[in-house]
Amino acid sequence: MTSRRQFIQIVPLASAAALLAAAGSAQAAMVEETDAQAKALGYVADAARADKGKYKQFAAGQHCGSCALYQGGNAPAGKCALFPGKDVANKGWCSAYAKKA
């Protein structure tokens, strides 16, 4: 049987474990449009703001979520091979866009 004293010792440990679990599932930092790599590729967090004058290859409907390099599935943000260590927005876009097969 768990004594009151044991219970009081267990609760903080369980809370700490829950916090660690939550932290482990947290998303990576997002790519900022001002990052050097983002600027070089014309990355925008919202494809609607893609520089259509500069990037003539842009076509309506293109966004990270439909790009072959996006690894986030249907999640609002996920990994892209071109931006290691950070997440790109599902609705983002960059000039390296490659339509999923």
Query: Which residues contact ligand SF4 by CB under 6 A?
Result: 43, 64, 67, 69-70, 80, 82, 88, 92-94, 96-97
State the minimum distance, in angstroms, from the CB of residue 37 to ligand SF4: 9
State the minimum distance, in angstroms, from the CB of residue 42 to ligand SF4: 9
Distance CA 74, CA 53 (A): 29
Q: Measuring CA to CA, which residue among 68, 59, 47 is closest to residue 79?
A: 68
Distance CA 34, CA 59 (A): 23
Closest to ligand SF4 by CB, 30 vs 69, is: 69
